[in-house]
Amino acid sequence: MAQRDVDQIAQAASLFGLAIPRTALTGAAGENLGTGVGSSLEFQDYREYTPGDDLRHVDWAAFARTDTLMVRLYREEVSPTVEIVLDASASMASDPQKRSLALNLASFFIVLARAHNSRPVLWLAGERVLRHAGDWDRHLDAVIFDATVDLASVLAANRPQFAHRSLRVVISDFLFPHDAETSLQVLSKGAASLALLQILSTEEAQPAPGMARRLVDVETHEYCDIVLSEQAVATYKERLERLKGAVSRAARRIYGAYSCIVSDRSLLEVARQDLYPAGIVEAR
């Protein structure tokens, strides 16, 4: 059984950090700018002094000029929740490298969130959607990837209560019949940012023609035996590109980020070649 690679995760986390969106966030006290007034060092506005205001925020230079007590207002500092949604359906374990990369990515974003003083939350979407706000390593190591329900269906049935204005990362292969727009409505509702990571095995991304194969729907266990002709491969690739295009366009419409990742590379290579160019992580 493929497991997380702790060394890979630590190496990638030492070189990259979370890419925080420029839109205002809300949350608990921390280091990112929010929409309210608080005690960060970024000046926001003035207002007239009222009894009870903190005298440390009085602008004495403005008082000398105008003979009016004015108080400096500052934007509050917040620490956003980072929510990782991991597709735990059976298709995610169709290849050991694919399964391993999915776990590494989920763990990677948890490490990045904690390094940023943000609150990581792990959502495991299997037969139902389960929320885990602690002991993430144990939960990730226990993932079996055997759900017979696809991500779109389980989200529609469960309607998870995501945190408002969170940074949301979704890890899935998206290899199921679905309306990308409808699925993303659930995933994007109330989010400050949304990153969609589509993980495909090498064979899923680039199937080779000329071999006899048994195609199995790992969720329903239905199968058919075929020979992968040039035409069959071309048709499959065309349908895959349409699927990728639909997810990518839906992500762009809500100002989200999308990256299609082939699982034959290390986490560090994926961070450099896929996540960084897509603006999902930033270099330290």
Per-residue pLDDT of the chain (284 residues; tens, 9 = 90+): 557 999 999 999 999 999 877 554 444 544 554 555 555 555 556 677 776 667 777 888 878 878 888 877 655 455 789 999 999 999 999 899 999 999 999 999 999 999 988 889 999 999 999 999 999 999 999 999 999 888 988 998 988 989 888 899 999 999 877 677 777 788 888 888 899 999 999 989 988 777 666 565 655 666 666 667 888 788 888 888 988 988 888 888 777 899 999 999 999 999 999 999 999 999 98
Do 121 and 86 form a contact (C-beta atoms < 8 A)? no
Is 6-19+81-283 a domain of CATH 3.40.50?
yes
Query: What whole-number distance in Å separates Cα of residue 281 and Cα of residue 284?
Result: 9
How far, rounded to the nearest angstrom, does the alpha carbon of residue 187 sit from its chain's CA centroid? 10
Which residues make Cβ contacts (< 8 Å) with residue 29, sequence separation at least 6?
A: 38, 76, 77, 78, 79
Amino acid at position 104, single letter: N
List the chain domain ranges: 6-19+81-283, 28-78
Which residues make Cβ contacts (< 8 Å) with residue 123, sequence separation at least 6?
A: 83, 84, 85, 86, 129, 130, 131, 132, 160, 162
Do 166 and 85 form a contact (C-beta atoms < 8 A)? no
Listing DSSP states for 230-246 in one string gives HHHHHHHHHHHHHHHHH
